[in-house]
Amino acid sequence: MTATGDFIPSDEDFLDEPLNPVIFGIELSPAVIGGLIALVGIGAAVYGYIKLVQPVVQANTALSAEIATKEGQLVSQAQQLQDIAKVEAELDTAMARRRDVYSLFANEKTMDTLLIDINQRIEGSNATLSGVRNQVKARGIPPILVEAKLEAFTPGEKVVVSDGSLGDGVNGKLKRETYSIQFSGDYAQTQVILRNLERLEPLLMIRDFNLTSGSPVAETVIGSGGTVVVEPKIPLTTSFQIDALMPTADVDVPPPVAEAPPAAAPPAEAPPPAPGG
C-alpha cells in the first residue's frame, strides 16, 4: 500500500541554518574565534606591559639617571678634592716663602735684644786691646788706649709706614721703630763696628749718619822691638739713626684674598645717524 500525503522536510531550510554559534549576530566561526583570541591576547599583552613592564622600565630609567647623576657627583667631588689638595699645597709653599721673607725683618724679640747686640759688637772691637794693655802695664807704664764705647742708645718713635717713603706698595704693611745711636772709637774700631752692625739679624736702615773727629790721643802701644812707644791716635765719634722695619701682619695668617674687580660693561652702541644727515 502506498502512503500518500506524508511531509518530507526540504533540505534548503536545513542548509540555511548556521553551523556555528551566533552572538550579537556574529557567527563564531573558527576564524572569528581565532581573531577574538588574538585580540584578547594582544589586549592582555598591552595591559600586562602597561601594568607590569612599563613601571619597571620607568623605574630602571630613573635609577639609571640617578646612578649617572651620582657618578657625575662622585667625579666632581674627586676633582674638587684634587683641586683642594693642590690649593693647600700651593698655600703651604706660599706660606713658607712668606715666613722666609718675614724672617728678614725685625720683630719684637730681636728689638728687645738690639741694645745688647750693638753693645756686644762695640765691646768686641776692643778685644785686641787687652793684650796690649797688659804688656804696657808690665813695663810699669800707664796704658793709654783709645777704646770703643757706646755713648748713647735712645729709642724713638714707633709708627706705621704710610708716607710712601719706602714705596707706596708697603704703606700700612710695615711699621718702623727708630733708635738714635752714638759710639766712639778709632778708625779701625769704627770700621769693624759698622761692618758687624750690617750682620745683625733684623733688617735695619741706617740714616742721618754723622762722623766727627776729636783731639789726637797719645796712645801707648808696643813697638816692633818690644818697647813701649807712643803713637798719636785720633778718636772718632759716630752717630746715626737706625730704623727697624717690622711687618704689621701676622706671619702665620694668610693675607685676605682680594675681590675680583667687576666686569667692565660693554660699550654702548652709537645711535644710528639721522636720515638725511
Are 208 and 225 in the same domain?
A: yes
Tell me: do 97 and 113 sit in the same domain. no
pLDDT band at 39 (very low <50, low <70, confident <90, very high): confident
Other CB atoms closer than 10 Å to residue 206's CB: what's the count? 13
52 and 131 share one domain: no
Cell numbers at 129, concatenated: 786691646
Same domain, 201 and 229: yes
The grid cell for 267 is 660699550
Q: Does 132 share its domain with 232? A: yes
Q: What is the C-alpha separation between 122 and 153, in angstroms, rounded?
A: 12
Beta strand 236-247 with 204-213 is antiparallel
Residue with the bigger pLDDT between 61 and 266: it is 61
Number of domains in the chain: 2
Could you report the per-residue pLDDT of 105-149, keeping only the tens digit for each?
Answer: 888 888 888 899 999 999 988 888 888 888 887 787 878 888 899
Q: Which of 64, 81, 102 is the last residue of a domain?
A: 102
DSSP string, 180-238: EEEEEE-HHHHHHHHHHHHT-SS-EEEEEEEEEE---EEEEEE-TTS-EEEEEE--EEE
pLDDT higher than threshold 90 for residue 236: yes
Q: What angle do CA 239, 127, 219 make, to 5 degrees?
A: 75
Average pLDDT over residues 97-112: 84
Q: Which of 155, 154, 175 is nearest to 165 (CA)?
A: 175
Other Cβ atoms less than 10 A from the Cβ of 146: the count is: 21
- Residue 82 is assigned to a structural domain of this protein: yes
Separation between Cα atoms, residue 254 and residue 75, nearest integer Å: 30
Same domain, 77 and 139: no
Structural domain for 95, as ranges: 21-102
**Residues 242 and 112 grouped into a single domain:** yes
Last residue in a domain, options 102, 136, 168: 102
Question: In the predicted model, is pLDDT for residue 12 greater than 60?
Answer: no
| Backbone dihedral angles phi then psi of residue 162, each to the nearest 5 degrees | -145, 10
Looking at the structure, tell me whether residues 114 and 229 fall in a common domain: yes
